[in-house]
Structure 1
Amino acid sequence: MNFKGFDIVISILIVGIVILMVIPIPPFLLDFLQLLNIILSIVILLATLYLRRALDISIFPSLLLVMTIFRLALNVSSTRLILLNGKNFEGKVIRAFGDFVVGGNYIVGIIIFLILVIIQFLVITKGTERISEVAARFTLDAMPGKQMSIDADLSSGLINEEQARQSREDIRREADFYGAMDGASKFVRGDAIAGLIITLINLVGGLIIGMMQQGLSIGEAAEIFALLTVGDGLVAQIPALLISTSAGMIVSRAASKDNFGRDLIIQLTQDTRVLNISGGILIILGSLTPIPVFPSLILGGGLLFVAYINLQNEKQKPVLQSVGASEGTEEIGSSGTGSGRRGKNIPGVFLPPLTSPEEVSEVLQGDTIEIDIGYGLIPLADPNQGGDLLDRITVVRKQLAYELGIIISPIRIRDSVLLSSNEYVIKLRGVEVGRFELIPERLLAINSGMASEELPGIKTKEPAFGLDAFWIDESLKEEAIEKGYTTVDAPSVFATHLSEMIKKYAHEIIGIKEVEILVDGLRVEYASLVDILIPTMLKMHEVKKILSALLYEKVSIRNLSLIFESLIEAADKYGNNIEKLVENIRQALGRQIVESLKSEDGELHAVALDPNIEKKISESTIEGDYGRILVLNPEYSNVLVHKISKSLENMMIKGYNPVLICSKNIRYPFARFILKFIQNINIIAYEEIPSDTSLSVNEIVEFEGGNSDAN
């Protein structure tokens, strides 16, 4: 709907509210405005019930002020008409509340009115005011920490600059909102007091006018004016009660994730034991006490029925599997006995043999990365049980996209009866690459080399880096930190393990599908680069080999535009020679590669090879079916690997990154050779170092006596 120009109408109406206090209005218009006040209050209350977060109705503090003024203006207008017309008053809404709601008994009406005022003033308004005050204080106190968290996410690549700007804006608006609500809650309190005072004034004024001006007895005046005054008070207090309830609802739902109705149903019915016990107690009370039997059986039976339905749903949940996922979401399903079939396993329905391409495609291995979990880890992966494993997997995927530039397909999680309760397995294209057993209710205390004392707990090895660790009780967290351990919870252990496995096998994860996604993304901004390179100069599978070669050595491919520019230049000269194309790209990405390897002093510290060793490597390189390969004498290889390993270990002891530097002409085959023996090191060429980077060669790998042969 087009709301253009409505802002002018709203402005005129707000001015009209103020004029309403001064200018008399006819009874039919008063009826219309009072009904409008009631329905607007209902709309506002329902809107707050369906809110997901308070900022979705950031106008509420101002709206609270406008509705309060509107209600008071109606009070003034109705008071004028009641006192002027007396028994001839024609306001149908007020008379309906006086005659129908309280049965024409003004004493009952006064009691109900006072009860409503007490409820609003002492219960709802008082609580809303306190919650608003505390929320405003804590929101302001938390702002620096939230800002630091956003800056950390931006630095680590979890969010981009636009998302960080939006997050900061949301934090500022949230602080402003709760600060405004703290002040706006005073409107509700003042409105309750004003409603009570106005009603008392109307009552006294009506009695005086009835007796002194209209010649009525005190009983007749009370019957006429008291009844109309009570009706007027109820017409005003019911919308006021709805609005104050709305205010309380907004400030009290800060921790909710969904609208009020869904949260209420999910959170009150998620534990079947509570429903069974409550239903049983109600049925027993109805059967053994004077409490009415029929209502007790209906309500108790209803609770037991809801518990039964929930129990059936829980039993069916491990059987169901998700098929397909949108970007940014993960999937959870069941692997059963490990058959790998997708879809719903429907009891009693016979699945036909494989007769169509669709059925065959379900059997074929299609997921790049899969995770099987034991039944004890299902709560960690189920959002309905408070598990955030899927969110953590999404964060890992996004983080690696920014870090390595690789787009990972949604990861499928299945529960498997083949695993022990708390065990999980990470699979790459159906093959296991990682396995570990978590203890969800404990913390993992990891010894990164700073701790010497053992902890009381279950000894294990941290899965990502193989460090010594202990599963400890949460009560021992402070003690573990004091002794030099790093403590993390079970989901964090899993997320770190998964992240390291993806980094380790990134060159195998990237396939034609992933490359096509990257190319399509590049085409949005650099269509000419894509059109020039593919398929004229290089085929898609050749580009995949090149990107895989870069990822094998942990080189980020996020700067894809520069990679394609380098390929266009080099492919014209070297054709589809993967080695030369990769080395040319590495030289173009030299600043990116070297920058990540610098030490805290801003220098690049490295271990170099003796010229005799480089000569030996060059002479031992032969042409293979897939490019040049290094073939060394086994004894020479063992000595060389040992010396390189020792030198790099010395570098790491000094706090430097394990960097090995050599000539460009041997780097590619030498890197493929040495990485088979020593993982997580960096082999760079002299030509890759930018001219403005300071290089410090801390050690030179050489054989004693300068002899390049191992004897």
Structure 2
Amino acid sequence: MRARDLSVLFGVILIIIMLVIPLPGWLLSVLILVNISLALIVILVSMNMKDALEFSVFPSLLLLLTLFRLGLNVSTTRSILSEADAGGVVATFGSFVIGDNALVGFVVFIILIIIQFIVITKGSERVSEVAARFTLDAMPGKQMSIDADLNAGMINEQQAKDRREKVENEADFYGAMDGASKFVKGDAIAGIIIVLINIVFGLIIGMVQMDLGFGEAVDTFTRLTVGDGLVSQIPALLISTATGIVVTRVASEGNLSSDVTKQLLRFPTMLYIAGGTIILLGLTPINFLLTAVIGGVLILSAYLLTQKSKEEELPTQEEIDATESEEMKTQENVVNLINLDPIEFEFGYGLIPLADTNQGGDLLDRVIMIRRQLAIELGLVIPVVRIRDNIQLNPNEYRIKIKGNEIDKGELLLDHFLAMSPGMEDDELEGIDTQEPAFGLPAKWVTEEVKDEAQLLGYTVVDPTSVVSTHLTEIIKRHAHQLLGRQETQQLIDHLKESNPILVDEVTPEPLSIGDIQKVLAKLLKEHVSIKNLPVIFETLADFAKLTTDIDLLTEYVRQALSFQITNDLLQGKPQLTVITISPEVEKTISEHIQQTEHGSYLAMDPERQQQILHSVTQNVEALSMREEQPIILCSPTIRMYVKQLLERYFPQVIVISYNEVEPTAEMESVGVVNMV
């Protein structure tokens, strides 16, 4: 253990010893000087810190120093009452303050105690209490502000994490300071009581046990009591002042000294006024020479500060242009130009109220909820959505980008509501015809006056913010596989490793690399299979990665292992699955046209057969759409991924599952068969 750690432990043990074992006078003198030194160090540190959290150990240190001081009080009181002696330091302090008049010295000492208890200690306690209350009350707002900045792209995940940690530390710190300030108050009260005990019982012991006269007893014990009180109250006063400085400190770039001088002397003109006022006071019976000197110093200081501010010339325009030109040449600025945000949401100036909280916009809060919702549904931490206005867009237009590429766009009318058709058009409903951007459903923009009428007619009516939130959610779901890179995969693996280290070590880096795992997870997301059940995914990879490293095959094994999840996601509370099956003839045709290569397997079918299968699929999907059912094709496990490859370009919305991906207890209804037409 290091010497620093041992010194703190030794200090705590010493406090216990002082409370029980009598200490010699010379050792008490040493400890008293140590106590004063520690108090000086604490107040100097509190004045030179820039932020309260730089002295986060202060509440605990305050408790230890208070116990140390109380231990000294007990030891000195024991020595004063038993030996009429508490060491040279106590005697010197008492003689210095009292001098030749014990009564005057004692009154001065009482005044010092009153200042310490009523002004400094009470003030520090109140400030600590208020600071703790306001810090805790402001904590939710600060957290929401951090989330808003994160979703607006103003900060990254790490910066948000650091800021959240700072907010939590501030709440803990000021809460601890609120409690620690009670120790300061208790210490002041204890000091007053100890003084009374030393005076009263000192007189009794001096006259009864030590055979001292009344005058001699008063002089002796008054000096020792005042000396003991001073060596105790001076450090207590310093600590109380430090407490007040710490809890009232506002974070800044400088320490207390620089901030006070910089801000107090910011307006030299005020020094002219203050100096002139002091000089005018000299016209009264106050000493004119004294006021003239002080006023002259203030006026001279104001003149020097004014001259100094004039000498600080601003840079010329040529210097500014040269600096900006030099900055643009640096590598950092060039590199920043090629950075791409994973997700961007741009909007015209007419849609600014959506994101402006001062105008009632809640888009930033909606984006936070979207990221949380998708994290639960997909098992993927969605990157920060960069939200910005773009004057190149039409006022009511917005667009969504994924990695710099425009994926979709739409238009909003902020003073209207979007009424989505219940399935049959109603020309009597007044509104502007449009399409719901997320699913392409026929809809109308209606005014607030027509909103109730639309709801009575069976329309689904939503506000503009909900429209864009739904659109953004669907776009992210559809392109989630593009948002999962190796870095994001590594974060998921690190999170899983915290709870399943052995499982992770068995899968990566051997036999599968981070890139291999990323490809498996991306293939799952591409077909809208959630990756939230990472332990099951890694268990499957651990079992089959030793047999094959083919990513497509590994993905199929993982899908089969996730059969319960896939089945539940497809059922969504329905009693049975409505599916389209594939005829044995089509399955046989597809199996015969699978080509195996060293780089994997793929479907090599002539265009004529492909068209026949696609035509049959089209007929079945259209028939299923009439029933407003999700098109699901059911086939054997050996050809599932090849069927998906065949249909992906033409029917991206069609879900293809194998028999092994459906739970045996799930009921199914076949409403069509894919044949060779």
**d(CA) in 1 for partners of 2:55, 2:253:** 17
Task: Tell me the distance in 2 between the aligned counterparts of 1:9 and 1:185.
Answer: 25
Q: How do 1:449-488 residues align onto structure 2 when only pairs under 5 Å count?
A: none
Q: Distance in 2 between matches of 1:514 and 1:677?
A: 30
Classify the secondary structure of the residue corresponding to 1:550: helix
Equivalent in the alignment of 1:590: 563
CA distance, structure 2, for counterparts of residue 375 and residue 283 of structure 1: 51
Q: C-alpha distance in 1, partners of 2:79/2:328?
A: 73
Q: CA deviation at 1:570?
A: 6.2
**1:36 alignment partner, SS class:** helix
Residue 400 to residue 128, structure 1, CA distance change in 2 (3 Å): same
CA-to-aligned-CA distance 1:68-104 (integer Å, 9 cap, x gap):
5325325515744995599x987445556778xxxx9
Q: Conserved in 2, the CA contact under 8 Å of 1:425 and 1:432?
A: yes
Question: Which position in structure 2 is the counterpart of 1:39?
Answer: 37
Give the whole-Å Cα distance in 1 for the aligned partners of 2:31 and 2:412.
Answer: 63
Q: Does 1:568 align with 2:545?
A: yes
1:262 equivalent in structure 2? 251
Q: Percent identity?
A: 26
Letter in 2 for 1:606: L
Instruction: Report the CA distance shift for 1:82/1:240 in structure 2 as closer, same or farther (over 3 A).
Output: farther
Distance (whole Å) between structure 2 residues aligned to residue 580 and residue 434 of structure 1: 33
Matches within 5 A, 1:155-174: none
Tell whether the 8 Å contact from 2:341 to 2:403 is kept in structure 1 after alignment: yes
**2 CA distance for matches of 1:303 and 1:446?**
60
Q: 1:505 aligns with which of 479, 482, 493?
A: 479
The answer to whether the 8 A contact 1:608-1:662 is kept is no
Distance 1:288 1:187 in 2: 46
Residue number in structure 1 paired with 2:116: 116
The residue aligned with 1:29 is 27
Q: 8 Å contact 2:636–2:659 — kept in the other structure?
A: yes
Distance apart, 1:513 and its partner CA: 6.7
For 2:190, the equivalent position in structure 1 comes to: 194
Inter-CA distance 361–643: structure 2 relative to 1 (3 Å threshold): farther
Counterpart-to-counterpart distance in 1, 2:444 and 2:274: 56
- Superposed, 1:59-208 pairs within 5 Å as 59=60, 63=64, 66-67=67-68, 69-73=70-74, 76=77, 79-80=80-81, 91-92=91-92, 107-120=107-120, 122-125=122-125, 187-200=183-196, 202=198
- Out of 533, 555, 570, the residue aligned to residue 529 of structure 2 is 555
Q: Check whether the contact 1:609–1:700 (CA below 8 A) recurs between aligned residues.
A: yes
Distance 2:487 2:553 in 1: 25
- Quick check: 1:606 aligned with 2:577? yes
The CA deviation at 1:551 is 2.2
Question: What is the distance in 2 between the residues matched to 1:586 and 1:276?
Answer: 70
Please state whether the residue corresponding to 1:347 is helix, strand or coil: helix
The one-letter amino acid of 1:554's match is: H
Counterpart of 1:16, as a letter, is I
Relative distance call for 1:466 and 1:97 in structure 2 (3 A) is farther
Does residue 13 of structure 1 match 2:43? no
Letter in 1 for 2:32: Q
- 1:440-451 equivalent positions in 2, closer than 5 A: none
Q: CA deviation at 1:690?
A: 3.7
Which amino acid in the other structure matches residue 69 of structure 1? L
Alpha-carbon deviations, 1:125-147, whole Å to 9, x = none?
46657988x89999xxx9xxxxx
Q: Give the number of the structure with larger relative contact order, counting CA–CA contacts within 8 Å between residues 6 or more apart.
A: 2
In structure 1, distance between residues paired with 2:654 and 2:245: 56
CA distance in 2, matches of 1:359, 1:65: 52
- Return closer, same or farther for 1:61/1:198 CA change in 2, 3 Å cut-off: closer
Would you say the 8 A contact 2:503–2:539 is kept in 1? no
| More off after superposition, 395-404 vs 554-563 | 395-404
Distance in 2 (alpha carbons) for counterparts of 1:187 and 1:360:
53
Which has the higher mean CA deviation after the structures are superposed, 668-677 or 415-424? 415-424
Q: Does 1:627 align with 2:603?
A: yes
Supply the distance in 2 between the matched residues of 1:644 and 1:9 (Cα, whole angstroms): 81
What does residue range 369-408 of structure 1 map to in structure 2 within 5 Å? 369=342, 371=344, 404=378
- Give, in angstroms, the shift of residue 112 of structure 1: 3.2
Amino acid at match of 1:72: N
Q: Which amino acid aligns with 1:627?
A: L
SS at match of 2:326: coil
* Local SS of the residue matching 2:529: coil
* Mapping of residues 518-537 of structure 1, within 5 Å: 529=507, 533=511
- Whether the aligned pair in 1 keeps the contact of 2:35 and 2:69 (CA below 8 Å) is no
**Deviation per CA, 1:690-709, whole angstroms, max 9, x where unpaired?**
44xx2133x5434xxx9979
> Aligned partners of 2:329 and 2:109: how far apart in 1?
72
Is the CA contact (8 Å cut-off) linking 1:94 and 1:228 kept in structure 2? yes
Amino acid at match of 1:262: A
Give the match for residue 695 of structure 1. 666
Please give the alpha-carbon distance, in whole angstroms, between the structure 2 residues aligned to 1:130 and 1:349.
49
The 2-side partners of 1:485 and 1:248 are apart by 57
d(CA) in 1 for partners of 2:202, 2:510: 90
Larger radius of gyration: 2
In structure 2, list runs of 5 or more residues that go unmatched: 141-164, 279-294, 356-362, 423-433, 446-459, 596-600
SS of the residue aligned with 2:657?
Answer: strand
2:324 counterpart SS class? coil
Aligned to 1:236: 232
Deviation digits for residues 513-553 of structure 1, max 9, x if unmatched? 76788899989855565577459xxxx97776554322211
Provide the secondary structure at the position in 2 that maps to 1:234. Answer: helix
Taking structure 1 as reference, are residues 125 and 404 closer, same or farther at Cα in structure 2, changes over 3 Å only?
Answer: closer
Aligned partner of 1:481 in structure 2 is: none
Deviation at 1:17, TM superposition (A): 1.7
Q: 1:516 to 1:278 in 2, by over 3 A?
A: closer
1:670 deviates by 4.5
Q: Give the counterpart letter for 1:70 in structure 2.
A: G
Rounded to whole Å, the distance in 2 between the matches of 1:596 and 1:56 is 51
Q: What CA distance in whole angstroms lies between the structure 1 residues aligned with 2:440 and 2:307?
A: 55
Query: Of 300, 318, 326, which aligns to 1:349?
Result: 326
Deviations, residues 662-695 of structure 1 (Å, cap 9, x unaligned): 444554354456666777775422221244xx21
Q: CA deviation at 1:280?
A: 8.9
Map of 1:356-371 to 2, 5 A cutoff? 362=335, 367=340, 369=342, 371=344
Q: Distance in 2 between matches of 1:595 and 1:193?
A: 68
1:686 to 659, 662, 666: 659
CA displacement, residues 98-122 of structure 1 (integer Å, 9 cap, x when unaligned): 78xxxx9665444333222222454
Quote the RMSD (CA, aligned, Å).
7.0
Match of 1:331 in 2: none
Does the 8 Å CA contact 2:590/2:639 hold for their aligned counterparts? no
On the 8 A contact 1:447/1:469 being kept in 2, the answer is yes
Amino acid at match of 1:591: F
CA drift at 1:431: 1.8
1:413-463 superposed Cα distances (whole Å, 9 cap, x missing partner): 697876689999764343234679999xx9x9999999xxxxxxxxx9999
User: What is the count of residue pairs matched by the alignment?
Assistant: 560
Cα distance in 2, alignment partners of residues 361 and 350 from structure 1: 10
- How far apart in 1 are the matches of 2:71 and 2:6? 22
CA distance in 1, matches of 2:276, 2:410: 54
